């Protein structure tokens, strides 16, 4: 886990900038929660250690069955940790209209988050979020 409390505010600022940039594009999402059922949706959500540390510092990670491959923060089909969710959640939109723009935004913020981790000597691991959460909840 991060030894650097300042990461908490820095990652928050990065997410804040990201949200402002996404709002200017407004790719559209009806918050149906379908994409948080990873098997059903056919994709894998990746996250970094610095981001899952940020989640762990701010919310309790519920016990969950990784075999179900549904995000444990999905409650009544709504994200229960919107403020703390990771980059991969924030930049994913099923609407294909802005695919290239969103990919560029993803790469830009991935680099910012990685630089933050390196600057603060936080281990850099980018892996499926379910696996990382399971390790933290053990
Ligand atoms: S991105 Fe699409 S699938 Fe995911 S919550 Fe929004 S509308 Fe639903
Ligand atoms: S953190 Fe929230 S948005 Fe991300 S997969 Fe889980 S429920 Fe969905």
Q: What is the pLDDT of residues 9-67, one digit of tens each?
A: 699 999 999 999 999 999 999 989 999 999 999 999 999 999 999 999 999 999 999 88
Report helix, strand or coil for 81: coil
Residue reference for tokens 């900038």 = 17
Q: Candidates 18, 36, 75: which one to mutate for ligand 2, based on the most atoms within 8 Å of Cβ?
A: 36
Report helix, strand or coil for 96: helix
| 99 or 1: which leads in pLDDT | 99
Specify the pTM.
0.93
| Helical segments of the chain, H only | 6-25, 38-41, 49-58, 87-91, 99-119, 129-137
Q: What residues does each domain of the chain span?
A: 6-137
Whether ligand 2 lies within 6 angstroms of the CB of 74 is answered as: yes
Confidence band, pLDDT 50/70/90 cuts, at residue 131: very high
The ligand 1 atom at the shortest distance from the C-alpha of residue 92 is: 1
Q: What is the pLDDT of residue 1?
A: 44
Q: What is the pLDDT of residue 2?
A: 44
Whether ligand 1 lies within 6 angstroms of the CB of 118 is answered as: no
Per-residue pLDDT tens over the stretch 64-109: 998 899 999 999 999 999 999 999 999 999 999 999 999 999 999 9
Residue 134 confidence (pLDDT) above 60: yes
- The two tokens of residue 94 are 């099923």
- The percent of residues above 70 in pLDDT, for the chain, comes to 93
Which conformational region is residue 76 in: left (phi greater than 0), alpha (psi within -120 to 50 degrees), or beta? left
Q: Under a CB-based contact definition with an 8 Å cutoff, are residues 115 and 14 in contact?
A: no
């Amino acid at each position: 886990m991060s030894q650097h409390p300042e990461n908490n505010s820095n990652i928050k600022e990065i997410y804040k900038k990201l949200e402002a940039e996404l709002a200017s594009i407004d790719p559209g999402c009806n918050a149906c929660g379908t994409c948080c059922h990873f098997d059903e949706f056919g994709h894998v959500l990746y996250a970094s250690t610095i981001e899952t540390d940020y989640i762990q510092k701010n919310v309790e990670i519920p016990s969950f069955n990784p075999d179900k491959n549904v995000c444990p923060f999905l409650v009544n089909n709504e994200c229960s940790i919107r403020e703390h969710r990771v980059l991969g959640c924030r930049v994913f939109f099923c609407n294909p209209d802005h695919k290239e723009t969103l990919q560029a935004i993803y790469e830009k913020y991935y680099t910012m988050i990685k630089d933050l981790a390196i600057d603060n000597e936080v281990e850099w691991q980018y892996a499926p979020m379910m696996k990382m959460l399971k390790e933290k909840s053990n």
